[in-house]
Amino acid sequence: MDAEFWHSRWSAKEIGFHQEQGNPLLKAHFSQLALSAGDRVFIPLCGKTKDIAWLLANNYRVVGAELSEIAVKELFAELGVTAQVKPVGKLLHYSASNIDIYLGDIFELNAEILQSVDAIYDRAALVALPFAMRCKYTQLLKDISHHAQQLVICFEYDQSMHDGPPFSVTKKELHNHYEEHYTIACVERITVAGGLKGQVKAEEVVYLLRPEVDRP
């Protein structure tokens, strides 16, 4: 899976992963991150998620990374704000009050560009990537965020029944990626109504990842 796959999805408006009302699991569990107004939340592979508007409305600052220019432009248009745009390394930095979005390959993002974040909200990033890229991606997040706490939403289903994305990410896999530096708690597990894309039985699972500060 390469960048062209996602560019073609956005160009063709094949964005079934986009939730017009935002994700109810974010609203149900975000308070467990115990953030304060003004804290900064990183959303990798953010698309134009309505969750950004919800976070901004609740007085959080948002930083995102997104590959699709279409998604980024539509995000700012739907927020009703005009972005300032400037190049940062191989990325384009779109910014407005309390929001920074980096357009381009997320693997071009580093800690210096990202700057400090208080939490990561991962709803559609980890599950969007095939396994080999998930390993690289989770290492990137740990490195650039300095092991910031995370709210992660995954899907679990029989991967042989559906090619993905979204891919199935099991509890075991999540622990393999993160348990060295985090305490991991499953905070909710729900059945996907009608199955994943109406094709396969699936569960949506919410995890809270707390950094273990004493670990290497």
Task: Tell me the domains of the chain and their CATH numbers.
Answer: 3-13+21-211 (3.40.50.150)
Structure tokens at 81: 């704000």
The pLDDT of residue 24 is: 93
Stretch 22-43: mean pLDDT? 95
Does 45 belong to an annotated binding site?
A: yes
Q: How confident is the model at residue 158 (pLDDT cuts 50, 70, 90)?
A: very high
Average the pLDDT over 44-55 and give the result. Answer: 95
Q: Two tokens at 48?
A: 């134009």
- What mean pLDDT, rounded, does the chain reach? 91
- Tell me if 123 is assigned to a ligand binding site: yes
Q: Say what the pLDDT of residue 21 is.
A: 65
Q: What is the pLDDT of residue 215?
A: 41
Is there a binding annotation on residue 66?
yes
* Percentage of residues in the chain having pLDDT higher than 70: 89
What secondary structure, in 3-state letters, does 40-100 show?
EEEEECCCCCHHHHHHHHCCCEEEEEECCHHHHHHHHHHHCCCCEEEEECCEEEEEECCEE
